[in-house]
Amino acid sequence: MSFTGAALAHHAATRPGQTALVCGGASLTFAALQARVEALALQLHRRLPAASSRQPRTGILLEDPLQALLAFFAAGRAGGIALMLDTTWPGALRDQILAASAPDLVIDAAGFPALIAEAEERKETAGTPLPFPAPEDLFYAGFTSGSTGVPKGFARTHRSWTESFRLSAAAFGTSPQDKVLVCGGLVHSLHLYAAVEGLCAGAGVEVMPRFQPRAVARRLAQGGTTILYATPTQLQLILREVEAAPSLRLVLSSGAKLQPEDRQMLTRRLSGVRTCEFYGASEMSFISLQDGTAPEASVGRPFPGVEVEIRDGQGRVLPQGEAGHLWVRSPLLFDRYICGGGEEVRWQDGWLTIGDRGWLDEAGNLYLAGRDKRMINSSGLNIFPEEVEKVLRAVPGVTAAAVFGAPDRLRGQRLVAAIWPDPGAAGNLTDGGLLRRAVLTALGRARCPRAFLLFEAFPLTPGGKTDLPALERAVHARLQTR
């Protein structure tokens, strides 16, 4: 497969009538999907700059997953870069990102119908077919949170994703016999990857227009779905609703660490279903796989074809059991940022670090310690909020926890914890005593939050992860009223 989406032509030729993509009440067969992608790619090729020192960039500002996927495949097929823009961004932030990423064309909900209609009308007069993109061409740019508050635009090559597809096939066995359910927005790289990988493998893919736990549970109960992609937060909410999933064979989770109690609940509620979590990053794709055979506290072993080293601040490789910066080398790494970036991202001789910290045990299992950009300095002590959050999430009645630093004259920063209680559990957590004792016992006084703030629910990103910047703003607003 030379480029992302090349396999669609094969599936259109060999199983033209098979349903490829479902979203709400709309669906496309593989033949229809391939035809629309080719027609739309030709139309984009007509509209985008013909001669330029860079690849053309198409901004995709579409909430409808079916429209977004058509535009995504077409932009790459036309030899350009698909910029996946978030429709929920405030206007000022969207304008800032558009100025920084400089798309040549933006496709939004108002303009998409006319664009696809014109593409269909003109497809018979296309003339010379489009050349195929090269494997090393950039084709996709997503946006992930930056240390300055402005999202970073990370760009990927076709090869980095087609190599990821190869590893996915070996690890998870996605095939034309599968039906993949994606339950989150496509601006999140996990859900976009799930949909694109499934379609390129010849599987049927259903993308929920928006994340609704009850709707996901009903869909699973109806049967047909064999693979579910979701973040740990989404899984917690789905498991509260799910009654049955008769055809489900595999749950794939990423975006955060899957907690032992969540894995146990998956085993109870979805007996016989294989659960795999993979640790990765937008800039790195797959790093490690935890399939239940590695120690619970770890994120598993490196994916086949992925090399992992732990190094100190001077770049020296550290021995097993010693924590340091995580460095990765693989054919899956991103190419560059088209906007934004940060000091925590460094390259060295084909190796990449994005500031994550961890260690390896003697069996090669990887453990995470935190991320540099979230580190809090309190009374001269460097504290990674992830280690405190892990303890808090293990307290009975806690759905999710997040820890932030708040200004403190004496300490520089003090720790404040935001808590999302399970339904009916808030009463046991209101005074913070249970939470405080858990942290004191596990980590000691220096790492214990000074305040515990309960929230009915956390704000979530379109991809189903905790929206940490939004939650931090809410925490600081609450602190100002105390």
What does the pLDDT read at residue 327? Answer: 98
Structure tokens at 242: 């799910």
Whether CATH 2.30.38.10 fits 283-372: yes
Across the chain, which has 482 residues, the per-10-residue mean pLDDT values are: 91 98 96 97 89 88 97 97 92 90 96 92 74 96 70 94 94 96 90 97 95 94 96 89 94 86 88 93 94 92 95 92 95 94 86 93 92 76 85 94 88 91 90 92 89 94 83 92 79
Amino acid letter for position 305 = G
Residue 120, C-beta contacts closer than 8 angstroms, at least 6 positions apart: 36, 39
**Model confidence pLDDT, tens digit, residues 24-49:** 889 999 999 999 999 999 999 998 88
**Distance between CA atoms of residues 181 and 212, nearest Å:** 13
**CA torsion 59→61→64→67, rounded to 10°?**
-30
Superfamily name and number for 375-481:
ANL, C-terminal domain (3.30.300.30)
Q: Which strands make up the sheet holding 138-144, listed edge to edge? A: 105-108, 57-61, 81-84, 138-144, 152-157, 336-339
Q: Which strands make up the sheet holding 412-421, listed edge to edge? A: 398-408, 412-421, 451-454
The residue whose two tokens read 């935890």 is: 290
Q: Which string of DSSP letters, residue by residue, matches 5-63?
A: TTHHHHHHHHSTTSEEEEETTEEEEHHHHHHHHHHHHHHHHHHS-SS-SS--EEEEE--
What SS3 state is found at 227?
Answer: strand
**Distance between CA atoms of residues 444 and 438, nearest Å:** 9
Cβ neighbours, 10 Å, residue 222: 12
Structure tokens at 404: 């932030």
What does the pLDDT read at residue 446? Answer: 83
What is the dotted CATH code of the domain comprising 6-210?
A: 3.40.50.12780
pTM: 0.83
**Model confidence pLDDT, tens digit, residues 304-347:** 999 999 999 888 999 999 999 999 999 999 999 999 877 788 99
**CA torsion 286→6→152→100, rounded to 10°?**
170
**Distance between CA atoms of residues 441 and 439, nearest Å:** 5
Q: Where are the beta strands (DSSP E) in 223-375?
A: 227-230, 250-253, 274-281, 285-290, 301-302, 307-311, 324-329, 336-339, 346-348, 351-353, 356-360, 366-371
What does the pLDDT read at residue 422? Answer: 92
Beta-bridged to residue 421, according to DSSP, are 398
Query: What is the domain partition of the chain in residue ranges?
Result: 6-210, 283-372, 375-481
Composition of the chain by helix, strand, coil, percent to 5: 35, 30, 40
What does the pLDDT read at residue 380? Answer: 66
What does the pLDDT read at residue 147? Answer: 47
